[in-house]
Structure formats: C-alpha cells, structure tokens
Chain A
C-alpha cells in the first residue's frame, strides 16, 4: 500500500517535471533569473567594488525580490492549467489521493527551482577565485534563498488551486509574496514602529516575525537556526493544506 502511494506521487512528479521542460516558459524564466541574480549582484550590489569575499550583501540580498515575481511565474500553471484543460477531473477520478498529486507537483516545481538556483554556481567560483570566502555563510545563504523560493512556490500552488486562469493566479501570488516579504522588511517595520504608539510595538514585531524576510535575513547572514528552517517548512505545509482545500472546493 505504501509502495502504491509512492508510485502515484512519482508518476505525478515525473509527468509534471518533464512538462516544465516541454514549455519554453521555464527556459525564459531561468535565463531571466540568472540575468537578474548576476545583474543585481554586480551592478546594484557592487559585488566587485565592495572588496568583500562574502555573498550575503551583494548576492543573496536581492533574491527575495527576484523570487516574488519569478516563483509565481514558474508555479502558476501547477493547478490552474489542470482546471483549464479539464484534466483535473481525470486526475481526481484516478485511484490516487489529492495529497499524492499535491506533493508530486510541488516537488517537481521545487526540483526545477533547484536546477535554476544551482546554475548560479559561477558566482561561487568567482568569489573563491578572487578571495577567500567563509563557506558557512555561502551554504546557509543558498539554503535561505532556496527555502524562500519554496515558500513562494507553495503560496503559488495554493493560489493556483482556486483559479483556472494562470494570469489571475500569477497576480494573486505575486501580491501575496510581496505582502509576506514587506511586512518584515526592516525599513518598513522601523517606520511603522516609530509612527505607532509604543504600546503597539510588540504587535508590529509579531506581525513582522511572520514574514519571509525576517527569517531569510538571519539565515543569509550565516546563522542556520532550526527555528527559521521550521518557519519555512510550516509556511509550505500551510500553503499545501490551503491547496488541498481549494481543490476540494472545486469538487463540491
């Protein structure tokens, strides 16, 4: 019985993963991602001028802003395309549980993103060539960046479960990702804290604690705290539960 569950998830994963490579969208997104990640690092992050053999400020700093747009672009077809084609009905009358399909699809998009992120390896080579970097922050930086992308993908998965339009899914998920990023953005949080009466500061701090950003910064600085990893894992779990609810509402 367990084998059957795994086989179903693998079959979904395989189909979904290969279908990413059948469409030109993925290649375009990966190229844009690489251009943006490198462009921001070298031009805005002044990677070479900073004379600093660390990737935290110049490179990882920009990733959340790139993911806000690009992760929804990768994930928007996840369920909305199934709704639009009508294959959702086919899938749900096959002998599998919705969870097997949700996990199979999410893991496929996660692996696609792992490939995209791995293609930024050249900047690691550059920094090792030019300086003597501390490997710890680079590894936690990649972990933080990847978890951030997975969080955005899971949010996109949830949005796509509710609509048959990829455009609607894209706009809604970008909005949600921006919200989850900005409520923890230090500049904004500090301004809000200064404007509001002091008694509300703990509330603001609590809300900002729920944002992606708060947990991303800690990790990208080289401090891998279980708490922050658990935060992203729970965001993913909640988003996938919401996906399941969305799919169920389509069948009611």
Chain B
C-alpha cells in the first residue's frame, strides 16, 4: 500500500486587521481521536479567524464529523488541544461552549415540541429569557424563513424545515463560532442557495467551519478549504489554490478525486 499523497500547502498566517492582538477564534492543535484500534482523526491542526469560512471536504468516514464533534466539545479527543476564543475546551467546556453554535449531522430535534417551543428551550439553555428570548426567536425565525411553521409540531415538518429549525437553533444566541455539519444536506436547490448565502453573510463577522460533499459549495461560500482523508489533512488552502494543486486537474472535483481514495479501493 502506498502512502497517502500529502500535498499540504503552507498557508501564510492570515493577517486580520480586526483582532490581530487576540487569539484566533478557533485554534486546534494536533487533534487525534482513536476509537478502539481505529484512528479516526490523526494529527489535525488548524486555526480559524473571525471573518473566515473554513470548508471541510472529504469522503464519507474521513473524520470530518468526528473532528467537528471534538471541536464542539461532544467527543473528548485522545490527544491534542482545542481553544475557542482563547478558552480551552477541555479545561473549561461550559465556558468555551457558550460562544459556539452547532448544527449536528441529520439535524436532531425534540419531536414532541413545536418549532417555537424548541427554539425557546434552546434560547433558555443559552441564558436568554423573557424579552431577549422572544426577540432571539423572532430573529432566527426571520433569518431561516420559519414563520410559516412557527407553531407546527417538529414531528410534522418536511426535511427542509427540520434542517432549518436546527440551523436556527445554532444561531439563536448569535455565536462568534459556528460549526455546521453538512448544513445543506437534503435541501432543495433553492434552500441550498439560501443557506449558502446565509453562511457567506454570517462568515463576514463569525468564524465558521462547515463540512460538505458538494464541491461547488466550497467555491461559493468558503474563504478556505481543507480536504481530509482517513483522518489526515491532505490539502489546505483557498479554493483557488486547491484547484491548482494537482497538475492537469482544472476543477475541485478532479483534485478531490485525485488526492482522496474512495472506500471502494482496498
């Protein structure tokens, strides 16, 4: 078996005029996660500044979701460190989690609640009460086009609405860091377009990581992209840089297929 073709680009440190003297919003160093004997994530490091949108690319089972789950504090890493706005996720998880909004894969929701009561619960968990809570709910209902289903039970929602309800939950406290696991999965083209624009718009003021299988999404919404394969970062750069990574490849799709291996191969 040959070695993984590692073609990591050395990315110059992004100079950000707004917060050059503070810590980067997301700082991940040498992250590693082992399940039993399987290494799911191996030595992944990256930083994301405010105003950056980082796209996670990679085949299924490459370790994208596992990495995100560690950054959000759901999984405990086997080794490595995670800092959110300078606060260590492993030492002060409750404090670090406050500035994160997270959309898990498959958009889980409490099926016995209505959209508004679910968002109300999430707002309370984020320390919003009374008028601030009502305002936050109205704001995200607007942003995610959910007014029509406001009092509908989550159980009866279509997939697109379910997804947007969970997305609304992730931005209810206007977090500085957003982590979105396949935010456009299962949406129709119109909804995809809306969510992409929303990510792009919010990316101007927040630090965002999102994972996706759709390569044009990366070009449309990301300022930077990382390709992960079998737990390792195999490419890292702006979408334009990634496109030129492999000689003879002109699209992200070709680059992606030449540097990651499908799980059909041995």
Contacts of B76 in A (CB 8 A): 251-252
Count CB-based A-B contacts (< 8 Å).
67
Q: Does A187 contact B (CB under 8 A)?
A: no
Distance in angstroms between the alpha carbons of A208 and B104 in the assembled complex: 47
CB pair B169 A97 closer than 8 Å: no
Are the CB atoms of B72 and A95 closer together than 8 Å?
no
**Interface status of B206 (Cβ within 8 A of chain A):** no
Q: Pick the interface stretch among B93-101, B208-216, B257-265.
A: B93-101
Question: Any chain A CB within 8 A of the CB of B167?
Answer: no
- The answer to whether B102 and A95 touch across the interface, beta carbons within 8 angstroms, is no
Contact status of A95 and B98, CB under 8 A, knowing A85-B108, A86-B104, A89-B104? yes
Interface size on A, residues (CB 8 A): 23
**Is B46 located at the chain interface by the 8 A CB criterion?**
no
Complex CA gap A23/B100 in Å reads 32
Query: A7 to B94, alpha carbons, bound, how many Å?
Result: 14
Residues of the B chain whose Cβ atoms lie less than 8 Å from the Cβ of A94: 97, 122, 125-126
CA distance A23 to B153 in the complex (A): 13
CB under 8 Å from chain A, chain B span 70-109: 72-76, 94-95, 97-98, 100, 102, 104, 106, 108-109
* Cβ contacts A to B, 10 pairs, < 8 Å: A7-B129, A22-B112, A86-B104, A89-B104, A90-B169, A94-B97, A94-B122, A94-B126, A96-B94, A252-B75
Q: In the complex the two chains form, is A87's CB within 8 Å of B73's CB?
A: no
Q: Are A93 and B73 in contact (CB under 8 A)?
A: yes
Please determine whether A11 and B125 come into contact, CB atoms closer than 8 angstroms: yes
A4 neighbours in B (Cβ, 8 Å): 127
Question: Which of A11, A87, A93 contacts B124 (CB under 8 A)?
Answer: A11
* Cα-based distance from A145 to B166 in the complex (angstroms): 41
Residue on A nearest B166 in the bound complex, by CB: A90
In contact, A85 and B121 (Cβ under 8 angstroms): no
Measured in the bound complex, the distance between the Cα atoms of B73 and A22 in whole Å is 31
B126 & A90 in contact (Cβ 8 Å cutoff):
no
In angstroms, Cα B125 to Cα A94, docked, is: 7
Complex contacts, A86 vs chain B, CB 8 Å: 104, 106, 108
Does chain B have a CB within 8 A of A92? Answer: yes
Interface size on B, residues (CB 8 A): 29
Those of A89-109 within 8 Å (CB) of chain B: 89-90, 92-97
Q: Mark A59-95, 1 if CB is under 8 A from B, else 0.
A: 0000000000000000000000000011101101111
Contact of A89 among B108, B112, B122, B126 (CB under 8 A): B108
> Do B94 and A97 touch (CB < 8 A)?
yes
Smallest Cβ-Cβ distance to B181: which chain A residue: A89
**A23, A89, A95: which contacts B125 (Cβ < 8 A)?**
A95
B158-175 vs A: 1/0 string, CB under 8 Å?
000000001001000000
The reply to whether A19 and B110 contact each other, CB–CB distance below 8 Å, is yes
Q: Is B95 in contact with A11, judged by CB distance below 8 angstroms?
A: no
Interfacial chain A residues near B129, Cβ < 8 Å: 7
Instruction: Decide yes or no whether B243 CB sits under 8 A from chain A.
Output: no
The 6 closest A-B pairs by CB, nearest first: A86-B108, A11-B124, A95-B97, A93-B72, A95-B98, A22-B112
B104 near A85 with CB under 8 A, answer no
Whether B97 contacts A93 by the Cβ 8 Å rule is yes
Complex CA gap A248/B31 in Å reads: 20
Q: Decide: A19 and B112 in contact? CB cutoff 8 A.
A: yes
In the complex, the answer to whether A87 meets B108 with C-beta atoms within 8 Å is yes
Contact of B104 (CB < 8 Å), options: A8, A14, A90, A96: A90
> Are B94 and A11 in contact, with the CB atoms below 8 A?
no
Shortest beta-carbon distance, A85 to chain B, in Å?
A: 5
Give Cα A95 to B121, complex, Å: 13
Residue of A nearest to B98 (CB): A95
Known interface pairs A7-B124, A94-B126; A89-B74 also in contact (CB < 8 Å): yes
Interface: B111 (CB within 8 A): yes
Interface 0/1 of A235-252, CB less than 8 Å to B: 000000000000000011
Chain A residue at minimum C-beta to C-beta distance from B112: A22
8 A Cβ contacts from B115-133 to A: 121-122, 124-127, 129
> Within the assembled complex, what's the spacing in Å between the Cα atoms of A96 and B97?
8
Q: Are B112 and A23 in contact (CB under 8 A)?
A: yes
Residue in B100, B112, B125, B169 whose CB lies within 8 Å of A8: B125
- Decide: B102 and A93 in contact? CB cutoff 8 A: yes
Asked whether B94 lies within 8 Å of A95 as measured between CB atoms, the reply is yes
Q: Bound complex: CA of A85 vs CA of B113, how far in Å?
A: 13
A144 CB to closest chain B CB, in angstroms? Answer: 33
